[in-house]
Amino acid sequence: MWLWFHKLASPPHAYRLLGKMAPWFGWPALAMMLLATWWGLVKAPADYQQGDAFRILYVHAPSAWMSMFIYVVMAVAAAVGLIWRIKLAHAAAAAAAPIGASFTFLALATGSIWGKPMWGTWWVWDARLTSELILLFLYLGYMALRSSFDDPQRADRASAVLAIVGVINVPIIHYSVEWWTTLHQPASVTKLDKPSIAMEMLYPLFIMIVGFQLYFGWAISRRLRGEILRRERNASWLKEGG
């Protein structure tokens, strides 16, 4: 088991495996996102209160969900790198950060676009919106901290601590709509006993979430390959035409 694990975590093996995996994420991701877009914009019925504006849900909610999911992935990878000194784990955390920051930006921007016609304002300083904005700053701070070190090992360690400490923000975002009074609507999907949303409105949401997950799988494979090459610049396996 450990032998297998070491092989998997070895840079040349990981580099080749990621290259083989990426298209298996990329093409299904594209197909799922197109299907969800068609379903969400054309097939799903308009909301009886929000009309067609509710269709923003299908890009907003999956983006917000991914922004938190990727942060947890990044923090776990950083912790694994810190505890077991696995360089590939640090590289994975570094590769996840720009993708997570993109989804966080999308969650904020599409939420703002949705807020204007529904709430009458682009932005309010309430708990949900503010904690999501802090998430964006955590991603940006993580990336800035990494790039401020010349030594990759010091960059790994310092940024890992930031990523791990920042994970406290994730449950705050999730529960912010319950703990504080806010304009943001509470969760309507994760209430398993009785989802307060019609099933035919729910399918495109699930498909979009799967599409975004696959997109993340594709993007982190590509970014991690670049990251491995950058770190292994003097390794002998590169000379062997890996």
Q: Write the DSSP symbol of residue 192.
A: S
Angle formed by the axes of helices 11-38 and 87-119, to 10°? 20
CB of 192 to another protein, least distance (A): 27
CB of 123 to another protein, least distance (A): 15
Binding mask 51-80 for another protein (x = CB under 8 A): xxx-xx--xx--x-----------------
Binding mask 180-219 for another protein (x = CB under 8 A): -----------------------------------x---x
Query: What is d(CA 188, CA 196) in angstroms, rounded to the nearest whole number?
Result: 5
b/e per residue, 12-51, with b = 16+ CB within 10 A? bebbeebeeebeebbebbeebbebbbebbeeebeeeeeee
Indicate the residue among 71 and 114 with the shorter CB distance to another protein: 114
Query: What is d(CA 87, CA 156) in angstroms, rounded to the nearest whole number?
Result: 8
Question: Can you give the binding site for another protein, defined by CB under 8 A?
Answer: 33, 37, 41-42, 46, 51-53, 55-56, 59-60, 63, 98-99, 102, 105-106, 109-110, 113-114, 116-117, 215, 219, 222-223, 225-226, 229-230, 233-234, 238-239, 241
